[in-house]
Amino acid sequence: MMVQLGQIVDALGGELVGGGREIVISRISPLETAQADSISFLSNPRYATQMAASRAACVVVAPAMRELAAQRGACIVAANPYVYFAKLTQFWKMQQQGVRPVGVHPSAVVDPTAEIAPDAYIGPLCVVGAGARIGAATVLRSRITVSDGCEIGERCLLHPGVVIGADGFGFANEAGQWIKIEQLGKVRIGNDVEIGANTCIDRGALDDTVIEDGVKLDNLVQIAHNVHVGAHSVIAGNAGVAGSARIGQGCSIGGAANILGHLTIADGTSISPTSMVTRSIRQPGLYTGIFPLQTNELWEKNAASLKQLHVLRERIKKLESALEGAKQQ
């Protein structure tokens, strides 16, 4: 595929400096591997030397890098180069694939009582249950199950293998045997949500499981029954959220992190990868650790001390020996 710089600027904005609108671009590349037909971007000034050495036909830069970028050739000046890059990838994909598909694939199974927006797309081997609702411009890629009564908003994207509305894990013990608690709630997903491959979101036991607008879930995420995820939060792969936990708005949950049930996570909180959250977090910040969870600053100090534990032990032994010797004199 080939486009001209002028087409990119017309579509996405920004100021073209140091080059002509007619320059042809055929790929998006990182600075270090860019060729003469590539467009690249610089979001971190630390990599300015890479930009100077890059063969890219054009580099997207912030206003502060305008003069330096113009010295090497064409550049597009944008307030946030990384966001511009994200929009550029969307533009590129649209040019490659054209208009996105709509309708229901012949191999999909959709219950007659389900409500599917006319411009939504239900892909191959998907299953949409009774009373389910799929909003406008939402795309279900393939092999996705949306169980009875579950709701998905507008402009959502679900990747292959997603399961929405499986039963939550609920059982009562009677004389050593487990009695199933029927899961009578549903899953409600807002607008502009993206859900990665093979992620599972369980229906609520009584109340609903809720995923608010703009949430982004990675592959292989487990969201248990009655969880509430606030708007524009992101959860990376292999993370697990236990039942009835409430994650605030604008939170970031790292890969393989786990949040225990019935906890509350404050708006704007970040959880480092592989951390185990065992208590509610009332103040936003970056939290890290397993036993126990603590602020990232405190965890780094303790981790540094732990790395030197053997040295500290030997020093203590020497001090104890010196004190014992002093007592005997």
Return the residue matching tokens 């650790």: 289
Provide the token pair at 5.
């710089």
User: What are the residues whose beta carbons fall under 8 Å from the beta carbon of 160, sequence distance 6 or more?
Assistant: 141, 142, 143, 144, 197, 198
> What is the rounded distance in angstroms from the CA atom of residue 39 to the CA atom of residue 198?
33
Residue 228 a catalytic site member: no
> What is the rounded distance in angstroms from the CA atom of residue 247 to the CA atom of residue 245?
7
Q: In whole angstroms, how far apart are CA 140 and each of 51, 119, 186, 232? A: 39, 12, 18, 20
Give CA angle at 146 (144, 147), nearest 5°: 135
> What is the rounded distance in angstroms from the CA atom of residue 321 to the CA atom of residue 78?
65
Which entry of 105, 159, 225, 310 is annotated as an active-site residue? 225
Catalytic residues: 225
